[in-house]
Amino acid sequence: MRRARVAVSVTFALHGAVMGSFATRIPWLQDQLNVNTGELGLALLAPAVGSLLTMPTASRITHRYGGRAVTRWLICLWCGALALPALAPNLPVLCATLAVYGAASGMSDVAMNAQGVVIEQRVGRSIMSGLHGMWSLGGLIGGGVGSVAAHAEVDARLHLGVMAFALAVAGAVVGGLLLDVRSEAGAAEPPRFALPSRAVLIIGLVGFCAVFAEAAGHDWCAVYLTQVTGASPGVAAASYSAFAFTMAAGRFCGDAVVRRLGTVAVVRLGGTLGSLGGVIVVIAREPLPAIVGFMLIGLGIAVIIPLVFAAAGNAANTPSEGVAGAATISYSAGFLAPSAIGWIAEASTLPVSFTLVTAMLAAVLLGAGVLRRGTGGTGATGGTGGTGTRPAVRRRTTIAPPPRRS
């Protein structure tokens, strides 16, 4: 279990590193293809479309080929896809490559989270928050390398090609250490496009609210600081760093808090902190209070998605089936939130638009109890207590023993 936990932690970091690497070279893509902001925005919708269309298929693939092989090769595919957008000669090809990039992202995301749920079940205590913390760390590292490359004016084709190769090799090596999770012989094969069950749907709606707030904070915090509080560009950029820092810190500390308080209590606490942050953002007219508000939003939502995936993985027939359903529902908010905030702000003001974010965070607080349905009230992702007792192992998955070491 220790080896598998390290392997899945590194897998999460690799996934985040790909995302961070790509984000730093978007300006290069815009300049290289000479596209305007509207055309670039249209292209950047393609990853979300590719991801949402393919995530529901991940459960069937995992059932057929096993968790270790699927996670390993999907991560390699995701890392390799990093090199594709920089090779696009025009906007239509860029959209096509970004759709492939998004599809690989979504399917590998489901597979690695399913691995995390199985390991969490086996060790009998919360680990999902820390795994998502590793994703954030990987994103910071990938983004840092990309920023250095961009500052040095390294051609993005070279930068992303080298990163894609190095990360794919690392994914292939680490993927061999993951758990070989397989469905039991005779278990019914999931449908090609699995729709979430009612329990997973309800759990996923909590994730939808959290991702909505996360996407709004990521995309609009700097703009909010500039337009509403009159902050300088440097201070506005610092607001994003503060938001991302509290999210990462909250994820690394989240497992210890979950073990002590339990899933439902932690989600309620997160919803409370996030709602408080949303109220502060809405009423703030100076930079410092607004930054504090965004930091509270980041801290409040930090562990929500890891706990949603853990609960959904336990509520479904197999972890991959539950994670696929919850991820599809939750991540669709990332597709809707930035545009919704912009539309409301255009019709009124940015503070008014962030009342919707505050309402979403309040919904997380009110809906926290539904996550108990995926845990049976106990266990690593447990109910209201922090006993850390071992949850029931899923009925339809088995774990092949690892090869003996010489």
List, for residues 306-337, the tens digit of each pLDDT value: 999 889 888 877 777 788 888 888 888 877 88
Query: Which is nearest to 142 in space by CA: 238, 13, 245, 251?
Result: 13
What is the pLDDT at residue 365?
Answer: 93
What is the pLDDT at residue 352?
Answer: 93
Spatial separation of the C-alpha atoms in residues 354 and 282, rounded to whole Å: 6
267 in Cβ contact with 368 (< 8 Å): yes
Largest CA distance in the chain: 68
Q: Distance between the two ends of the chain, CA-based, in angstroms?
A: 18
Taking residue 161's Cβ as centre, other Cβ atoms within 10 Å add up to 17
Q: Averaged in consecutive runs of 10 residues, what is the pLDDT profile of the chain (406 residues)?
A: 89 91 84 81 82 82 82 93 94 93 90 87 86 88 85 90 95 88 60 70 93 86 86 78 86 90 93 96 94 94 91 81 84 80 85 94 93 54 37 42 40
- In the Cβ-directed half-sphere of 212, how many Cα atoms lie within 13 Å? 28
Give the C-alpha distances (Å, rounded to integers) separating 314 from 302, 305, 308, 326, 380: 20, 14, 10, 11, 11
In the DSSP assignment, the letter for residue 192 is S
Spatial separation of the C-alpha atoms in residues 325 and 74, rounded to whole Å: 18
pTM: 0.76
Query: Residue 369 burial (CB < 10 Å; 0-12/13-18/19+)?
Result: middle
What is the three-class DSSP state of 38?
A: helix
294 in Cβ contact with 228 (< 8 Å): no
Q: Which two tokens stand for residue 339?
A: 């545009």
- In the Cβ-directed half-sphere of 264, how many Cα atoms lie within 13 Å? 19
What is the pLDDT at residue 13?
Answer: 94
Give the C-alpha distances (Å, rounded to integers) separating 120 from 57, 307, 311, 380, 382: 23, 11, 11, 7, 11
> Tell me, what amino acid is at 312?
A
Residue ranges of domains in the chain, CATH in brackets: 1-179 (1.20.1250.20), 194-390 (1.20.1250.20)
Query: Which is nearest to 323 in space by CA: 71, 51, 103, 109?
Result: 109
Spatial separation of the C-alpha atoms in residues 284 and 233, rounded to whole Å: 18
Question: What pairs with residue 397 in β-bridges?
Answer: 183
